[in-house]
């Protein structure tokens, strides 16, 4: 029987053990998720047949509050990856000081191959599998790769039907009409843009002199392209799963986004094509991976020419690649800070749901900015005191907070 253990988490911990001492039970707390659910479940298809899907939900650590994390629908969804992402969610919530632990879920499915009706059946069936283990005070799912506000709406509705009660706080990333929060749709990107702005200020770098390449043009990539181009940065390349485009003078992001919206991809747009491999290796000021995990690996890390990497995707850089980037003096602003804006506004959504009182856009924006800036300041102090790279400093900061909470609960 395999152990309920996260192999990647062990690799992360090994890196920081030269800076902090960890007892054996602390390593166990940080590598063994509290709960791992894996299940097969039937979903009726439009042709009258039933198809069996595999789903996961991992609740990693709840010492600091109810567990929180997205659900992804992807053909390559995999348990080890979901465990790692659940661990990173626990760290992320600690980094930005919001009262949640970490979780993640997923279904092995290519949602593009399902009709709207089948997607709704799948989303509702997934919730029926996990409803006993989630709830506003227990575990709160959210969107992730290929899951949308509409899917969150179906999921919330299914949960409320089972519970026979109003429970909007069970899930975040809902549409505004169903008690979602203003700005949740762009929160990840806006949070990342705030972090980049602070980083650039500290380095005395100017947006108008900075070129950017973005991998991914979905929620995270598309919105950050829009925000950063409005702030004066020059976005020279962007891609989706089919292809990428490049213009050294800067892309017209409004035009690119409306083309993508209309056609569903970037094929045929009047710009030079680049492969995803070429995009990652462009000589730009900032590279923003905003698609999937494991994109910068030991095989291409030495070819990365960007000076700064802003990780909007979760886990886009492998631990082996991190070491190579460090050696090459590439500064990586890690995912657990760079993309934390999404979970921060999810937290605001959960707070608004429990108050039943809803904030205006300006209020959400101001509160998000404050949390992101405070987290950056706290982390800079930590980084200076440990003299290590940004990822290790953030991991130490987060792990110390989680272990402090465990200790106060009586786990020594
Ligand atoms: P999304 O499904 O909206 O977009 C994903 C994008 O990646 C799409 O444009 C897709 O075409 C592209 N893509 C997929 N495979 C690719 C490949 N091999 N090469 C290039 N592009 C590829 O998903 P999203 O919500 O934007 O999430 C993207 C990343 O950001 C994920 O790692 C996710 O975990 C992370 N993230 C998202 C949020 C959020 O609030 N949406 C929050 C935190 C982290």
> Looking at residue 207, which CATH number applies to its domain?
3.40.50.720
Distance 219 CA to ligand 1 centre (A): 7
In the chain, % helix, strand, coil (3-state, to 5) comes to 50, 20, 35
Report the distance separating Cα 57 and Cα 126, nearest Å.
10
Query: Which of 338, 372, 394 marks a domain boundary?
Result: 338
From 104, 226, 234, 401, the catalytic residue: 104
Note whether residue 230 is domain-resident: yes
Both 140 and 193 in one domain: the answer is no
- List the chain pLDDT tens, one digit each, 412 residues: 678 999 989 988 988 998 999 999 999 999 999 999 999 999 999 999 999 999 999 999 999 999 999 999 999 999 999 999 999 999 999 999 999 999 999 999 999 999 999 999 999 999 999 999 999 999 999 999 899 999 999 999 999 999 999 999 999 999 999 999 999 989 999 999 999 999 999 999 999 999 999 999 998 999 999 999 999 999 999 999 999 999 999 999 999 999 999 999 999 999 999 999 999 999 999 999 999 889 999 999 999 999 999 999 988 999 889 999 999 999 999 999 999 999 999 999 999 999 999 999 999 999 999 999 999 998 888 777 877 889 999 999 999 999 999 999 997 7
CB 236 within 8 A of CB 250: yes
Enter the DSSP assignment of 377.
H
Do 140 and 218 reside in the same domain of the chain? no
Pocket of ligand 1 (CB under 6 A): 143-146, 188, 215-221, 239-241, 276, 290-292, 312-314, 339, 342
Residue with CA nearest ligand 1 atom 30: 313
In a domain, 301, yes or no: yes
Residue ending a domain, among 177, 201, 235, is 177
Total domains present in the chain: 2
CA of 369 to the centre of ligand 1 (A): 22
Site to probe by mutation for ligand 1, drawn from 183, 220, 227, 265 as the one with most ligand atoms within 8 Å of Cβ, is: 220
Predicted TM-score (pTM) of this structure: 0.94
User: Domain with 123 in it: what CATH number?
Assistant: 3.40.50.10860
Q: Let me know if residue 295 belongs to a domain.
A: yes
H or E stretch covering 287: strand 286-289
Residues 291 and 310 placed together within one structural domain of the fold: yes
Looking at the fold, whether 231 and 261 belong to one and the same domain comes out as yes
On whether both 127 and 230 belong to a single domain, the answer is: no
Secondary structure E strands in 206-282: 211-215, 234-239, 244-246, 272-274
Q: How far is the CA of 217 from the centre of ligand 1 (A)?
A: 7
Q: Annotated catalytic, 298?
A: no
Residue 167: which residues within 8 A CB-CB, separation 6 or more? 135, 136, 156, 159, 160
| Domain of residue 139, residue span | 35-177
Residue nearest to atom 15 of ligand 1 (CA): 241
Report how far ligand 1's centroid is from the alpha carbon of 409 (Å): 36
Does residue 77 form part of some domain? yes
Inside any domain, residue 394: no
Which residues are CB-contacts of 305 (< 8 A; sequence separation ≥ 6)? 281, 282, 283, 284
Instruction: Answer whether residue 398 is part of any domain.
Output: no
On whether both 246 and 118 belong to a single domain, the answer is no
Which ligand 1 atom minimizes the distance to the CA of 315?
A: 32
Hey, what are 410's tokens?
Answer: 């009586």
> Do both 201 and 278 map to the same domain?
yes
**Ligand 1 geometric centre to CA of 356 (Å):** 31
Please indicate, yes or no, whether residues 214 and 259 belong to a single structural domain of this protein: yes
DSSP-derived pairing of the beta strands 67-74 and 139-143: parallel
**Which residue among 144, 177, 210 closes a domain?**
177
- Report the C-alpha gap between 107 and 77 in whole angstroms: 6
């Amino acid at each position: 029987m395999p152990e309920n253990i996260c192999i990647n988490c062990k690799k992360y911990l090994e890196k920081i053990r030269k800076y902090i001492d960890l007892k054996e039970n602390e390593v166990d707390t940080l590598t063994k998720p509290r709960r791992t659910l894996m299940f097969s479940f039937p979903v009726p298809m439009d042709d009258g047949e039933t198809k069996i899907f595999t789903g996961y939900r991992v609740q990693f650590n709840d010492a600091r509050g109810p567990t929180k994390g997205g659900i992804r629908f992807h053909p390559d969804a995999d348990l080890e990856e979901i465990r790692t992402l659940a661990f990173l969610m626990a760290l992320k919530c600690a980094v930005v000081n919001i009262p949640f632990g970490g979780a993640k879920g997923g279904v092995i499915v290519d949602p593009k191959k399902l009709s709207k009706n089948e997607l709704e059946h799948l989303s509702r069936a997934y919730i029926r599998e996990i409803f006993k283990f989630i709830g506003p005070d227990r575990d709160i799912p959210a969107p992730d790769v290929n899951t949308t506000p509409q899917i969150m709406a179906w999921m919330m509705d299914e949960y409320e039907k089972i519970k026979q009660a109003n429970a909007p706080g069970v899930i975040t990333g809902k549409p505004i009409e169903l008690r979602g929060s203003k700005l949740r749709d762009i929160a990840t990107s806006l949070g990342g843009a705030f972090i980049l702005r602070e980083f650039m200020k500290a380095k005395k770098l100017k947006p108008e002199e900075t070129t950017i390449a973005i991998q991914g043009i979905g929620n995270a990539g598309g919105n950050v392209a829009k925000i950063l181009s409005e702030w004066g940065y020059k976005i020279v390349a962007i891609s989706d799963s089919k292809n990428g485009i490049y213009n050294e003078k800067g892309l017209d992001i409004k035009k690119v986004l409306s083309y993508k919206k209309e056609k569903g991809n970037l094929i045929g747009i009047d710009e030079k094509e680049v492969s995803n491999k070429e995009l990652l290796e462009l000589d730009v000021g900032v590279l923003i991976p905003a698609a999937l995990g494991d994109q910068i690996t030991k095989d291409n890390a030495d070819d990365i020419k960007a000076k700064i990497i802003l990780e909007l995707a979760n886990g886009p850089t492998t631990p082996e690649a991190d070491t190579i980037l460090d050696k090459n003096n590439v500064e990586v602003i890690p995912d657990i800070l760079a993309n934390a804006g999404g979970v921060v506004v999810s937290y605001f959504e959960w707070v608004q749901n429990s108050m039943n009182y809803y904030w205006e856009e300006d209020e959400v924006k101001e509160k998000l900015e404050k949390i992101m800036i405070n987290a950056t300041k706290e982390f800079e102090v930590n980084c200076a005191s440990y003299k290590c790279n940004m990822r290790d400093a953030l991991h130490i900061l987060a792990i110390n907070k989680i272990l402090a909470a465990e200790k106060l609960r009586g786990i020594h």
